[in-house]
Structure 1
Amino acid sequence: MRLDQQRNTSKKPLALIEIGTSAGLQLLWDKYSYSYNNKADRYGAPHSYVHITSEMKGTGMPVLYKESPPVAWRVGVDLYVSEVNNPENVKWLKALIWPEHKHRLDLFRKAVQQIQAFSVELIEGDGVELLFEIAKQAPHNASLCIFHTHVANQMPQEVKQQLLTSIQKVGENRDVFHLYNNIWDANLHLDYVINGKEHKHIIGQTDGHGRWFSWN
């Protein structure tokens, strides 16, 4: 099944699990607004504190929705959760932003405002070991999406394999989508299990700080 066909088969809201969530800022992606290639058109949540811009390179074009898909449930898990209601954690997270990236610092401040106004469940622990049990809690009337980014760089090869095995196990009982990079390479991957059948796609290439992306 082609990926563009698959987009039309899932009409459910999303249930999100983020591994390596830190402060959970990415779990609120549907609460942010977006624009591309310096165009005025906005997507997502138009009145969000956070507005993210990016350049699309190449000829591929993702499907852009004026409103983000509904999210019914979301959980983040990390070895150490950085609660943004703790000022020391906010200082630490700010210190991780490169000093010349003033635009990223501004986005971070606004994202902190956004998450402070929204309740997100964050679990402290090993996301790979806890994944199967957390996935059991996700509502079955939602499409389960497990995602992570650069945290996979920090996983030994055997832990990466354990993660993939756990997701396959989740897929034995329900449909599941897995969005990630940095397991095999820096490309953006979407693997999914639908009706027990596994599919794998490389859907794009991305800049590490989100300044540009290309779409396959």
Structure 2
Amino acid sequence: MSRLAEALRDQAVHCEALGSPFMARLLGLLAERLTPEGAVRERLFAWEGDLSPQGHSVPLRLCGALHALKMRDPDGALAAVYPPNSASDDALWAAVDATFKDDEAFLMSFLDSPPQTNEVRRSVAIIPAAMVALSKFNLPLTLSELGASAGLNLNFDRYALSLNGTSFGAPDPALTLAPDWNGPLPPRREIRVIDRAGVDLNPLTGPDDPARLRAYLWPDQPERLALTDAALDLPTPDIHRGDAADWLEARLAQPWTGLHFLFHTIAWQYFPPDVQERCARAIATTGERATRDQPLAWFAMENDNGAAGRGAAMTLRLWPGALVFDLGRADFHGRWIDWTYEG
């Protein structure tokens, strides 16, 4: 089996586990039938380095490019075999196979950039984490996000959570998130944001970026597209283009008002080790000078390969006091939360 086929099959398993049978099927067909014939295919088979999501994420680049073509031409051949339509494996493959020649220039260009999503459903972890922090320091929030992409989760105070029939968050929300929630409910606190900003190496805030953002949402998960569209209708937060450590060091060096709530979701693993070290050092140093009038919170929803690979760990740290709270685990796409905090 080629390296490319192996990467495609591995990604198919992940997509199946994350509730996308169409993506699993498409990736399986690509692994089985793709051959190194033509410029795009030759490039894929000759790709150097790590093809997995921890590296160049080549399978998702390719599937994102195909989805982008489908959305660009709603009456085209791909649209006829993509959800919500159904088609045989042979019909689906024939439409995909044709794009490698018919849309070569588009595919080559799309493959140049790594996948970039802004999964708004990760706010199902951010909102209750912020409420825990607010239960310790009842102050307005200054928000900072690392790996902010389009900044959709920086607007989490404008969203609501529906948890087992109980509503949390914004009273007049732009959108409502309803994860499968296991465990006690979080503390109910009003979220008041007075400043919000983020950083990303490649922020998706340009006029053409929403189309790219949508392309990486999986075709058989229309609820993700609906939530993303609702979030895109909100004002775009201040997102800086640049290195996370450079930006964070400068931001934390400035005084802030209220509780500074710093967060990142499935982003830390993509930072180089030196960037991780600098960010952690800047946060710890800032925490040492935090006060009850100007406290600091650091929330991380990140893959720690724990609990037999079940979702991401949710960890909240608070200063002053250097308090650490294990909040539980969350699905990578925010479909469920296993909440363990009982404060």
Shared fold per TM-score greater than 0.5: yes
Structure 1 unaligned residues grouped into runs of 5+: none
TM-score (norm 2): 0.54
Report the Cα offset of residue 181 of structure 1.
2.5
Please say if residues 177 and 193 of structure 1, whose CA atoms lie closer than 8 Å, have aligned partners that are also in contact.
yes
Aligned to 1:181: 301
Q: Which has more radius of gyration?
A: 2
1:154-173 alignment runs, 5 A limit: 154-173=270-289
Work out the CA distance in 1 between the residues paired with 2:177 and 2:338: 16
Please give the alpha-carbon distance, in whole angstroms, between the structure 1 residues aligned to 2:198 and 2:178.
Answer: 24
SS in 2 for 1:164: helix
1:110 equivalent to 2:230? Answer yes
- The TM-score normalised by the length of structure 1 is 0.84
Task: Quote the Cα distance in structure 2 between the aligned partners of 1:17 and 1:210.
Answer: 20
More strand by share: 1
2:317 — aligned with what?
191
Deviations 1:144-197 (A, max 9, x none): 111001111212333322221110121133231100022745200101221xx3
In 1: Cα distance, 2:270 partner to 2:239 partner: 20
1:202 corresponds in structure 2 to 326
Secondary structure at 1:168 match in 2: helix
Conserved 8 A contact 2:145-2:197:
yes
1:25-66 Cα shifts (integer Å, max 9, x gaps): 0000001122123x2x43222333311111111x3331134x
Q: Deviations over 1:89-141 (max 9, x none)?
A: 00000011111111011000110012xxx3521111111222021123452x3
Query: Cα 1:182–1:33, aligned 2, differ >3 Å: closer, same or farther?
Result: closer
Superposed CA RMSD in Å reads 2.1
Partner Cα separation in structure 1 for residue 237 and residue 149 of structure 2:
12
- 1:130 matched residue in structure 2: 247
Identity value in percent: 26
Alpha-carbon distance change, 23 to 5 in structure 1, aligned in 2, over 3 angstroms: closer
Decide whether aligned partners of structure 1 residues 156 and 70 sit closer, same or farther in structure 2, where only a CA change above 3 A counts. Answer: same
Cα gap change, 1:167/1:205 in structure 2, threshold over 3 Å: closer, same or farther? same
Deviates more, 1:160-169 or 1:204-213: 160-169
- Given candidates 100, 123, 133, the residue that maps to 2:220 is 100
Cα distance in 2, alignment partners of residues 63 and 30 from structure 1: 15
Q: Which of structures 1 and 2 has the larger relative contact order (alpha carbons within 8 angstroms, sep 6+)?
A: 1
Alignment partners' CA distance in 2, 1:50 and 1:138: 32
CA, structure 1 residues 183+34, in 2 after alignment: closer, same or farther (shift >3 Å)? closer
Residue 150 (structure 2) pairs with residue 150 (structure 1): no
Q: How many pairs are equivalent?
A: 200
Structure 2 residues without counterparts, runs of 5 or longer: 1-130, 306-311
